[in-house]
Structure 1
Amino acid sequence: MTATGASGSVAARGRPGGGPWWWARRRSAVLDVLLAVVSMVECMAEGIPFAHSTGVPVAAGMLLGFVVGPVLLVRRRWPVVVVLVSIAVMPAQMGVLLSMVGLYTLAASDVPRRIIGLLAGMTVVGTLVTTFLTMRQDVTAQPEFHLPVWFVTLMALAVGLVLTAPPVLWGLYVGARRRLVESLRERADGLERELSLLADRAEERAEWARNEERTRIAREMHDVVAHRVSLMVVHAAALQAVALKDPEKASRNAALVGDMGRQALTELREMLGVLRTAEGAAARGPAGSDEPERLAAVASRVSRKAAGGAAEGVASDAAAHGASAGGAEPEGEGPRLAELGELVELSRAAGMAVEFSVLGDGDGDDGRRDAGEEAAAAGDDGPRYAARVEQTVYRVVQEALTNVHKHAPGARARVRLAHRAGEVAVQVENGPSERGATDAGLPSGGNGLVGMRERVTALGGVFVSGPTEAGGFRVSAVVPAPVESAA
């Protein structure tokens, strides 16, 4: 609202029709011009009897009407001015249309109610006084009519209310309805913006979930396939070395390489299948809400098959050497700590000297178990943790052993698993390569340590890696892990 009582909502609604000056629409400007012309004609016509009654020239009365009538042009911008002008010309008995239209515009605007009531009351009083004096003058001019004063007062009051109340009440109703519509429009716009923001956030969350699941699958495939392919390369090198000297051992290594290759191809085929499915769903329509769940399910299947495949490989290699490795199927999604012994046996079968030891039982017992007890310590009689915790520890050991195969062929490795109160710790350390080679020539993407760190820190654990003073490498991880149940 301006200082003169103009409505601020008119300007806020904009100018859809491109109206001039303060008009929001061209049709509003045309309407006000027509009203101003009619009011000017009315005021000029009423100025003639006013000039006769007061003895002024007729031209002066018409000039007054010519000046007062067009004030309606500013009724939308300054409604208070229009009403004040109509009150000012009431003694001249002109401006009926000016007064009624001005009161309606004032009541429909955003002017405070007390100002509307004050100006409406002044209009009623002005009309009452003017009508009372006019009627008394007419009665006095005709002695045969004897009207009491109270009747003249009542008639003047009725005329004042008839000329004032309808435009004020109608203006109040239109203003309230207009404000209600504006409020509903603003609320609808706000809800539309909120829905748009929610849709954008939902899309961002879906995209984030898809990226997280893709990263998880990539990490799983790196841990599983890279480990198996690295062992395949090691076995192939051993096969080449003993092919002529020990045909029986070469045959066992060839069979093991074939099993590992088939398992790796199966996992890769499943991975490519789910990625094609995801691309097809994206091409058919908007991002589906079930894609993260589908990717997670495939990642879980890959993890379970990887653990099961590792157990089968260890069992076949142990049978070839006349030993029993105990390849039990894992419980839950992904590998568990119970399969660490099998993972170590798989690396031993590839020619690596690995020492595996387990400390503690999860109840504060830090007694160390020797190599003869390692299978039982890491098996079903040990403490059980959440599936994510056991899978993380398993993957850390798996990737660390893979790195030993890649970068320190022939080096001795030591795997230590410690059950502590509320946490589980693992350390994989290897010495320098005994063959004098520092790298087996296997391709590496440089993501192994990054993936291990991501896994551990995602569970609130601590991951440390780096070279040792003896020229080897050490990987350590501590993961918070409350014990779920004991077998």
Structure 2
Amino acid sequence: MNRKRGLRGPFARWPRASDATLAAVLFLATTLVTDGPADTIVTRPITGVPIPVLAVFAVAAAGMYRRRDKPIRALGVAVAGWALMLPTREYDVGLITLFAVYSAGRYSASGRKGQIGLAAAMAVLVAEALVRWTPLDETVAGVVVMFVVWYTGRRLRLREERAAERRERQAAEARRIVAEERTHIARELHDVVAHQVSLMTVQAGAAQAVAATDPESARQAMAAVEQAGRQALDELRHLLGVLRPETRRDGLGPQPGLADLPRLVGQFAAAGVDVRVSDGLRAALPTRIQLSAYRIIQEALTNVLKHGGPGTGAEVHLREDGTDIVIEIIDHAQPVAPSPQAAGHGIIGMRERATLLGGTLETGPRPEGGFRVSARLPVAGESA
């Protein structure tokens, strides 16, 4: 980026100073240089130019100082000055007008106004040709040159506008992706912390219930609350760090996967839920599948603990079915709290995870008692 800035010319680096210099150069060129015999260019002394003509030259050239922010006005001043010079048949501001025509194409936001200014400049050029008896081919050449100059400026402006629009679209797309990613991480935050808080709530309730009769069990329950609380804080710090704009994804730790199931089962065992895992998976799974499978199992077991309480038994079955994997979580207890069907974000979050991977989720009570959660995730399928 710095290299590109280093290659920028003075008109881009110091626009005001450059435009002031351009105005001065155009004034001197218009005043001191004129057409000579046989299509030659000669100089003339400034003392030979009438004061009113010098004033017109000065005003027309001064308009070029504002050619970037007032391009149409600068062109109008130049064209008006050129028209005033027509009766003299000797003096003109055609050179200044040519630069003003380019500036109108390059810097004017209104293409229609630029075209009107170009037409006015061409009209004055033709009028001068009639007054001075200029040959037709020279007049046509002058008109063509003026159009090419304006069109060049216009194309440069349009190209710059398209580049700005492209950069804005890219920036908008980047903002959209960041927003989606943060929404996804917010769901992660709910899933992780809600699981740990549920463990803490159940364990604290159990400790309170047995504190008077079984202090040792109460102590173990409170130790489990402490451990779950520490893990919740660690995961909360981790996920909040991801949500910070300046955080780099390169510094993030690995997300949990199916290899972490023993640790998850141990946490629920400490909370009083007997979880048995049947793993029929043979092939290694992509990280996105492992993460979603882990979170679905975590949320389903959290609901088992929340609605079945300590002492509940649960089974987790993992198996392959063609190109899909099937995750089934079954509990055997009658709910002691509102049905998991009313678990709010829990089941919605599990279904959303399965849907995002192109899979499905089925939930419902079992005829023989308890509750069943079954997720089917395509391994090689496209995400929804």
Task: Decide: shared fold, TM above 0.5.
Answer: yes
Show CA shifts across 1:229-283 (max 9, x none).
21111111221222233222222222221112122223333444555x53xx5xx
1:450 aligns with 2:351: no
Tell me the CA shift for residue 38 of structure 1.
Answer: 4.9
**Distance change (3 Å), C-alpha of 1:260 and 1:188:** same
Query: In structure 2, what is the Cα distance between the partners aligned to 1:105 and 1:36?
Result: 18
After superposition, residues 182-221 of structure 1 pair within 5 angstroms as 182-221=150-189
Query: In structure 2, what is the Cα distance between the partners aligned to 1:33 and 1:437?
Result: 94
Show CA shifts across 1:27-55 (max 9, x none).
4244335435759xxxxxxxxxxxxxxxx
Residue identity matched to 1:337: L
Counterpart of 1:398 (choices 298, 303, 314) is 298
Counterpart of 1:426 (choices 327, 332, 341) is 327
**Distance change (3 Å), C-alpha of 1:26 and 1:101:** farther
- Contact residue 89 and residue 132 of structure 2 kept, 8 A: no
Query: In structure 2, what is the Cα distance between the partners aligned to 1:356 and 1:102?
Result: 96
Counterpart of 1:414 (choices 286, 304, 315) is 315
- Which residue is 1:244 aligned to? 212
Query: In structure 1, what is the Cα distance between the partners aligned to 2:192 and 2:368?
Result: 29
Cα RMSD after superposing both structures: 3.7
1:437 aligns with 2:337: yes
Query: In structure 1, what is the Cα distance between the partners aligned to 2:211 and 2:71?
Result: 90
- Which residue is 2:200 aligned to? 232
Residue identity matched to 2:141: A
1:32 aligns with 2:76: no
**Distance change (3 Å), C-alpha of 1:236 and 1:75:** closer
- Contact residue 409 and residue 439 of structure 1 kept, 8 A: no
Query: In structure 2, what is the Cα distance between the partners aligned to 1:223 and 1:269?
Result: 14
**Distance change (3 Å), C-alpha of 1:30 and 1:189:** closer
1:181 aligns with 2:149: yes
- Contact residue 278 and residue 317 of structure 2 kept, 8 A: yes
After superposition, residues 79-94 of structure 1 pair within 5 angstroms as none
- Contact residue 200 and residue 225 of structure 2 kept, 8 A: yes
Residue identity matched to 2:349: G
Aligned with 2:133: secondary structure?
Answer: helix
Specify every segment of 5 or more residues in structure 1 that has no aligned partner in the other structure, as ranges.
1-13, 19-23, 40-73, 87-96, 110-174, 282-290, 302-332, 363-382, 483-487
- Which residue is 2:259 aligned to? 338
Aligned with 1:417: secondary structure?
Answer: strand
Residue identity matched to 1:181: V
Residue identity matched to 2:133: S
1:100 aligns with 2:134: yes
Query: In structure 1, what is the Cα distance between the partners aligned to 2:257 and 2:238?
Result: 22
Tell me the CA shift for residue 192 of structure 1.
Answer: 1.5
1:266 aligns with 2:300: no
1:464 aligns with 2:356: no
Show CA shifts across 1:134-192 (max 9, x none).
xxxxxxxxxxxxxxxxxxxxxxxxxxxxxxxxxxxxxxxxx34x344334323321222
After superposition, residues 111-130 of structure 1 pair within 5 angstroms as none
- Contact residue 76 and residue 105 of structure 1 kept, 8 A: no
- Contact residue 82 and residue 102 of structure 1 kept, 8 A: no
Structure 1 residues 392-401 or 468-477, which shifts more? 468-477
Tell me the CA shift for residue 397 of structure 1.
Answer: 0.5
**TM norm structure 1:** 0.49
Residue identity matched to 2:140: L
Tell me the CA shift for residue 394 of structure 1.
Answer: 0.8
Whichever of the two has the greater Rg, that structure is: 1
Tell me the CA shift for residue 398 of structure 1.
Answer: 0.3
**TM norm structure 2:** 0.61
Tell me the CA shift for residue 426 of structure 1.
Answer: 0.5
Query: In structure 2, what is the Cα distance between the partners aligned to 1:76 and 1:185?
Result: 16
- Which residue is 1:480 aligned to? 378
After superposition, residues 352-363 of structure 1 pair within 5 angstroms as 352-359=273-280, 361-362=281-282
- Contact residue 353 and residue 412 of structure 1 kept, 8 A: yes
Residue identity matched to 1:475: V
Aligned with 2:197: secondary structure?
Answer: helix
Query: In structure 1, what is the Cα distance between the partners aligned to 2:375 and 2:121?
Result: 79
Show CA shifts across 1:63-122 (max 9, x none).
xxxxxxxxxxx9944989998xx7xxxxxxxxxx5531665333333xxxxxxxxxxxxx
Tell me the CA shift for residue 208 of structure 1.
Answer: 2.2
Residue identity matched to 2:362: V
Query: In structure 2, what is the Cα distance between the partners aligned to 1:480 and 1:204?
Result: 32
Tell me the CA shift for residue 395 of structure 1.
Answer: 0.8
Query: In structure 1, what is the Cα distance between the partners aligned to 2:153 and 2:324?
Result: 57
Specify every segment of 5 or more residues in structure 2 that has no aligned partner in the other structure, as ranges.
1-69, 91-119
Residue identity matched to 1:264: A
